[in-house]
Structure 1
Amino acid sequence: MAIHFVADLQFDGGERTRHAHPHGFADTAERTRRICETWRARVAPEDSVWILGNVGNAVHLAGLPGSKHLVRAAGDPPAWNCLATRRYASVCEMRRLDTEHGLVTLLAHPGAAGEEERMVLHGRARGDWRRRGFVCVTVAELGWGPVSLDQIMSQAAGDALRDAA
């Protein structure tokens, strides 16, 4: 069982192109198809996926593998509404996970992290949040699908080595 993370799915249902054009997709239906294909290739049914805000139309989550947990962003529906859909195993504003890699804080926006946080996974943020220990997991930056914690930690270790050189 693996733990995966993703943010900013922005599922719109195909009627808008705002989130599609900047990334080379003809429309949001094409973008949604790509995200769902990538998700199915990376996530097994017994895996957990933490979505760090900005889901959009959550109907697309129904056919995707894995147990889904939502860390809400300002634009996501209220927790009670999200839980009523039965698409999520849990819904929260922030979560700290105790993992084999240590404590990991999950937030939709990195500005909500405290100074004491060492490893923070977050969704989209305006401005530069390239702070040591902060990792943005937006779908556009992760190859259009969830990424595992092991992959994130491997990437973070590589970044730390490059910074030290």
Structure 2
Amino acid sequence: MSLDETAGMTIYFTSDTHFGDPRVLRIDRRPFASVAEHDEALIALWNQTVGPEDEVWHLGDFALGPPPEAVAALLGRLNGRKHLISGNNDGPGTLAAPGWESVQAYAELRVDGRHLILCHYAFRTWNQIGRGSVNLHGHSHGRLTPATRQFDVGVDVQELRPATLDQIIARKRVRKPFAETREPGGE
């Protein structure tokens, strides 16, 4: 599939939003007092970044536990046309929710002339690695040592919002999760 950016449409990537999942406040030390505050902040940041005509590839762990109608309501609040690459915490309610343009475990596409390999998990090797292809992944929450042409697109390393391919590459493989880059008690 070829999805080069066109006038008025931008392609974004993200993962590990974990909507509705209280564990991210503790494990990933996201700076919110409650899951409701976390979810509302991520929705606001998403919508500040993504326009209605933009495309978003979510590389897994979108939400944990809610039924399809709750996920559908959440998807309806988020700008853009949304694709899901399923993650280990995406249950049946997330996978079955209306509002996804597509749902799959793996995808390959071309964006801005680059061949992209999309999966929730980071690979050690991937299709066309010797020809310069790029692996975008989630799951690790910024804790993996990056490999050449491999990028974690999770919200923990992408300022809690979706990012373009150029933004992801320009960040030079930030390894620290979001919470570790913040000053104690900071906002």
- Residue 17 of structure 1 corresponds to 22
Q: Which structure has greater helix proportion?
A: 1
Shift of 1:133: 0.7
Q: CA deviation at 1:60?
A: 1.8
Greater mean alpha carbon deviation, residues 59-68 or residues 111-120: 111-120
So what's the TM-score if we normalise by structure 2? 0.72
Deviation at 1:113, TM superposition (A): 4.9
Q: Choose the corresponding residue for 2:89, options 63, 67, 75.
A: 75
Question: Structure 1 runs of 4+ off > 4 angstroms?
Answer: none
Q: Structure 2 unaligned runs (5+)? A: 1-8, 174-187
Are residues 112 and 52 of structure 1, via their aligned partners in 2, closer, same or farther at CA, if it must alter by over 3 Å? farther
For residues 96-142 of structure 1, give each alpha carbon's deviation from its aligned partner in whole angstroms, at most 9, with x where no partner exists. 11111410111100137526433111002286241011100111211
Is the CA contact (8 Å cut-off) linking 2:13 and 2:59 kept in structure 1? yes
In 1, distance between residues paired with 2:158 and 2:135?
A: 16
Name which of structure 1's ranges 30-39 and 70-79 shifts more when overlaid on structure 2.
70-79
Alignment of 1:8-157 (within 5 A): 8-12=16-20, 17-21=22-26, 22-56=29-63, 57=66, 58=71, 59-78=73-92, 82=95, 84-111=96-123, 113-114=125-126, 116-117=128-129, 118-125=133-140, 128-156=144-172
Q: CA deviation at 1:144?
A: 1.0
Q: Please, which runs of 5 or more residues in structure 1 have no aligned partner? A: 158-165
Give the AA of the match of 2:101.
Answer: A
User: Do the aligned partners of 1:107 and 1:113 also contact (CA within 8 Å) in 2?
Assistant: no
CA distance in 1, matches of 2:105, 2:43: 24
After superposition, give the CA deviation of every residue in 1:62-98 in whole Å (9 maximum; x if it has no partner).
211100000011221359x73x422100011111111
Q: Alignment identity in percent?
A: 28
TM-score by length of 1: 0.81
Deviation at 1:145, TM superposition (A): 1.0
Change in 2 beyond 3 A, CA 1:156/1:119:
farther
